[in-house]
Each structure stands twice: as structure tokens, then as C-alpha cells.
């Protein structure tokens, strides 16, 4: 048996129903629900993959994600003119 087994991450879809709190113009605002999806445009070596290490009993993964902020843009648009907000691209590292 192999000591380590690599794997690819092909799908991730999550919702943060409670959103996040942030301060804008001195006022506390909640983003509302946020959608988090796997960033399929991430193509560099090591993106959206992981490894099971049976020797050390550890699993590691790297998720490249997009966080949709369209709800935040709509919220801010009500308060002031603002341009559409591009999704945030982030990397999540996971180890258990």
C-alpha cells in the first residue's frame, strides 16, 4: 500500500447563512448570506488538491475558493453609488 495518496478536489459549494459583519462608513453592517464555491480558474500546481498520508494519519487539502459578494454590493448600492464587487478569491488550507 502507498504511504501517501494524492487526490483532486472537483466540487465545493457552501453557504454562510449568517454572513459576515463589517464596518462601512462607521456603521456595522451584515453581508447577508454568502456563497462560497470552488474556484475552477485556479490552475497552478497544488491548487484544489490534497493528500492522504497513511503513515502519519494526516489528511491535507488546499481549496481555492470564490466568495460571491453580490449581496453586499446590492446592500451598499442602496446606501450609495458603488461599482459591482468582484468575487473574492481565497485559499483555504485544511489539515486533520
Q: List the domain range (segments joined by +) for residue 24.
A: 4-95
- pLDDT of amino acid 43: 86
**How is residue 30 written as a grid cell?**
451584515
Position 55 scores a pLDDT of 94
Give the model's pLDDT for residue 3.
92
Number of helices and strands in the chain (H, E): 1, 8
pLDDT in tens, the chain (96 residues): 689 999 999 999 999 999 888 887 787 888 888 899 999 888 888 899 999 999 999 999 999 999 887 777 666 666 665 565 677 788 888 777
CA dist 72 to 6, 14, 20, 59, Å? 37, 17, 10, 34
Domain count within the chain:
1
Alpha helices in 3-95 (DSSP H): 70-79
Amino acid at each position: 500500500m502507498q504511504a501517501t495518496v494524492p487526490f483532486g478536489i472537483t466540487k465545493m459549494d457552501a453557504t454562510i447563512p449568517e454572513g459576515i459583519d463589517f464596518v462601512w462608513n462607521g456603521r456595522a453592517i451584515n453581508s447577508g448570506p454568502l456563497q462560497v464555491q470552488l474556484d475552477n480558474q485556479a490552475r497552478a500546481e497544488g491548487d484544489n488538491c490534497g493528500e492522504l498520508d497513511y503513515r502519519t494519519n494526516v489528511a491535507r487539502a488546499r481549496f481555492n475558493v470564490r466568495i460571491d459578494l453580490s449581496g453586499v454590493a446590492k446592500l451598499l448600492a442602496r446606501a450609495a453609488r458603488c461599482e459591482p464587487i468582484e468575487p473574492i478569491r481565497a485559499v483555504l488550507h485544511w489539515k486533520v
